[in-house]
Amino acid sequence: MKRVVTIMTLCLLTMLATAQTSKEARKWLKKSEWSTLKKAKPHKTLNVDEFYRQYQKNKEQWDILYRWLCETDLMAIPKGKHPIPGSTLVASVEDSENEPLEKRGTESHRKKIDFQLVVKGTEGFALLDHESSTIKNPYDEKKDVMRYHFVKEKTNFFDVKAGQFVIFFPTDWHIAKLSNKKKNGSQQIRVIVVKMDYKD
């Protein structure tokens, strides 16, 4: 009985700590500089708690990214890779086209975080269900990527409009550049992708 009470107490404390973190994280996101960046608002799928934790662990790198986004004309900057001054970060400016699901690949990463800001158009994304997905290609340490088999019916598909960003952490198994849900809509997009360091 004493053991059961102890386990229940630990569970309750964990739940309270998680709730507190979530409250702090949402308050931080709402009041932080990210909320004043008119060029970029978080998509509703953002894991706010993880973003908050990663920001606290690697504040300098995230602040450098924020400043670069604020100071850069994201429509005028040429397509290609652009080193971000004062850091090891590289912004990949991509002008491309969304594609049907069967042409797109799945991925997740362990060392890096995918920050993706849609600058023009609407990009389709998907988050895979962990329970029904299985490994297709084992983790490639050199490329920092793992691929998956997935069940379409259990996959979360969503569109991200210009001015919104998504962040994919290691637990976010995802697909990018999917055809958006707009009927007869353009599939042309411009997106900024930055690989941020993941901190354990």
161-178 confidence digits (pLDDT tens): 999 999 999 999 999 999
Check whether residue 184 and residue 88 sit in a common domain: yes
| Residue 28 near residue 52, CB atoms below 8 Å | yes
| Residue 126 near residue 43, CB atoms below 8 Å | no
Q: Give the helix ranges, DSSP H, for 35-191.
A: 48-57, 59-71
Instruction: Report the CATH number at residue 123.
Output: 2.60.120.370
Please tell me the distance from the alpha carbon of residue 57 to that of residue 52, in angstroms, as a whole number: 9
Check whether residue 124 and residue 159 sit in a common domain: yes
Q: What is the pLDDT of residue 2?
A: 46
Check whether residue 100 and residue 59 sit in a common domain: yes
Number of domains in the chain: 2
Check whether residue 146 and residue 165 sit in a common domain: yes
Q: What is the pLDDT of residue 10?
A: 43
Q: Which amino acid is at 181?
A: K
Check whether residue 54 and residue 10 sit in a common domain: no
| Domain region containing 6 | 1-31
| 3-class state of residue 23 by DSSP | helix
Check whether residue 16 and residue 86 sit in a common domain: no
Contacts by residues 56-59 (CB-CB < 8 Å, ≥ 24 positions apart): 57/199, 58/196, 58/197, 58/199
Check whether residue 54 and residue 141 sit in a common domain: yes
Q: Which amino acid is at 18?
A: T
Q: What is the pLDDT of residues 66-123, one digit of tens each?
A: 999 999 999 999 999 999 999 999 999 999 999 999 999 999 999 999 999 999 999 9
Enter the pTM of the model: 0.86
Q: How many CB atoms lie within 10 A of CB 121?
A: 21
Q: What is the pLDDT of residue 27?
A: 86
Identify the bridge partners of residue 165 per DSSP, sorted by sequence position.
42, 117
Check whether residue 46 and residue 77 sit in a common domain: yes
Please tell me the distance from the alpha carbon of residue 20 to that of residue 24, in angstroms, as a whole number: 6
Check whether residue 63 and residue 128 sit in a common domain: yes
Check whether residue 87 and residue 166 sit in a common domain: yes
Check whether residue 47 and residue 107 sit in a common domain: yes
Check whether residue 26 and residue 74 sit in a common domain: no
Say which residue the tokens 């060029």 belong to: 39
Q: What is the pLDDT of residue 17?
A: 38
Q: What is the pLDDT of residues 5-56, one digit of tens each?
A: 444 444 433 433 344 568 888 888 887 767 667 778 899 999 999 999 999 9
